Amino acid sequence: MGGVAMSIVLITGSAGLVGSDAAAFFCERGYAVVGLDNDMRRYFFGEAASTRWQRDRLLSAYSNYVHHDVDVRDRRAVDAIFGEYSSDIALVIHTAAQPSHDWAARDPVTDFTVNANGTLNLLECTRCFCPEAVFIFTSTNKVYGDRPNRLPLIELETRWEIDPSHPYQPGIDESMSVDDARHSLFGASKLAADVLVQEYGRYFGMKTACFRAGCITGPNHSGAELHGFLSYLMKCVVMGARYTVFGYKGKQVRDNIHSYDLVNAFFHFFRAPRPGEVYNIGGGRFSNCSMLEAIAECEDLAGRKLSWRYAESNRIGDHIWWISDVGKFRAHFAEWNLTYDLRGTLLEILERNGSRWTGGVTG
């Protein structure tokens, strides 16, 4: 499917990390991109996490980008947008979300209505106005709850690792159960949305996919303490702000996927979609780190030491070790590859944001 003039890509959360990279990706390939984003990230995490700068950058850089300041919970407003573009919409990329399990516990109703009800609104609009469109949902590994913490883990000097003989040694695949686990309220709301996306694919035959990501990162992230691990960590190093490591001796492991690599995976699925698919997606064994390893890497790149403290209590429902097995997606889309390793990602975050954080650049 080429960049035909009337092919529209509708992206929710279009000023966020994944949404803005998706908007740029498809604009540069000749698609008309319709973005929905009402800067809820500022409401969730404060002024410093506002995505307004990304919205302005997209509007300035791409004449084929249109922005709508719309809340995905507002069914009437979402209906009106889908009605305007109708069957010209070829792809819906749903990235808008309340993304923090800490925040969700403060206001479960807002968390659930944004993550679950908002997703239902978008699925129903897609079914009614553009049923042939591909629908991609940015899900999360938190749908598995804390079940990964029951894996046989070994404590090493700077990280936890899985027993090398375990089937999940290459990473955790989609066979892991989502049942009988503590999910966090955020994990529960995202799981509700995830199951809805699968069901619209299987029940209605729509071309839907859930991409269950671990840590998504990149220079477009408006990192905040409660969300945006690598971006916020590098920001603290550069600005001399104090950082808190929560539990697990700082040895908890995450794989990290650059938002470009994730959006490129979306693009591959868009060109050869399948109904009701689920993929674990992340940096896998190619790009992962513990907290201690990430701190050391940031310090090395920035040439500064981080001021940090350790809090014994881990975050509720947090994973001790998560590395994604991307084998299923690779089996379906053999041409897709990860291109950003951890150091390359951190370096780009530093180079693109360092002066903005310290006041040298405003956008």
CA gap 286, 100 in Å, rounded: 25
Residue 342 counted as domain residue: yes
Mean pLDDT confidence for 146-165: 97
**Residues paired with 327 in a beta bridge:** none
Mean pLDDT confidence for 251-279: 97
CB 289 within 8 A of CB 346: no
Residue 1 counted as domain residue: no
Residue 205 counted as domain residue: yes
Domain that holds residue 221: 8-357
Residue 363 counted as domain residue: no
CB 185 within 8 A of CB 105: yes
Q: Which residue has the tokens 């590859």?
A: 337
What's the pLDDT tens digit per position in 236-254?
Answer: 999 999 999 999 999 999 9
Band (pLDDT 50/70/90 cuts) for residue 362 is very low
CA gap 217, 132 in Å, rounded: 30
Closest CA to 51 of 5, 85, 43: 43
Residue 125 in tokens: 């609009």
DSSP state of 66: E
Long-range contacts of 260-263 (CB under 8 A, 24+ apart): 260/21, 260/25, 260/218, 260/339, 260/340, 261/338, 261/339, 261/340, 262/18, 262/21, 262/138, 262/211, 262/213, 262/216, 263/18, 263/21, 263/22, 263/25
CATH code for the domain in which residue 142 is found: 3.40.50.720
Residue 362 counted as domain residue: no
What's the pLDDT tens digit per position in 228-237?
Answer: 678 889 999 9
Would you give the distance in Å from CA 125 to the centre of its chain? 22
What's the pLDDT tens digit per position in 18-58?
Answer: 999 999 999 999 999 999 999 978 878 888 778 898 999 99
Band (pLDDT 50/70/90 cuts) for residue 316 is confident
Percentage of the chain lying above the pLDDT 70 cut: 95
Mean pLDDT confidence for 280-309: 96
Q: What mean pLDDT is reported for the chain?
A: 93
For residue 224, the model assigns a pLDDT of: 63
CA gap 336, 265 in Å, rounded: 7
Is the pLDDT assigned to residue 350 strictly greater than 50?
Answer: yes
CA gap 333, 266 in Å, rounded: 11
CA gap 122, 101 in Å, rounded: 23
Strands (E), 124-189: 134-140, 153-155, 160-162
Mean pLDDT confidence for 138-165: 97
Buried b (16+ CB within 10 A) or exposed e, 225-250: bbbbbbbbbbbbbbeeeebebebbbb
* Total domains in the fold of the chain: 1
What's the pLDDT tens digit per position in 159-217?
Answer: 999 999 999 999 999 999 999 999 999 999 999 999 999 999 999 999 999 999 989 99
Residue 3 counted as domain residue: no
Residue 241 counted as domain residue: yes
Residue 166 counted as domain residue: yes
What does the chain come to in residues? Answer: 363
Output the pTM of the full model. 0.92
For residue 228, the model assigns a pLDDT of: 63
For residue 261, the model assigns a pLDDT of: 98
Is the pLDDT assigned to residue 4 strictly greater than 60?
Answer: no
**Helix/strand/coil percentages in the chain, nearest 5:** 45, 20, 35
Is the pLDDT assigned to residue 86 strictly greater than 80?
Answer: yes
Residue 183: how many CB atoms within 10 A of its CB?
A: 20
For residue 1, the model assigns a pLDDT of: 41
Percentage of the chain lying above the pLDDT 90 cut: 82
**Residues paired with 290 in a beta bridge:** 253
Mean pLDDT confidence for 127-154: 97
**Which helix (H) or strand (E) covers residue 67, if one does?**
strand 65-68
Local structure of 1: helix, strand or coil: coil
For residue 2, the model assigns a pLDDT of: 43
Is the pLDDT assigned to residue 221 strictly greater than 80?
Answer: no
Would you give the distance in Å from CA 344 to the centre of its chain? 18
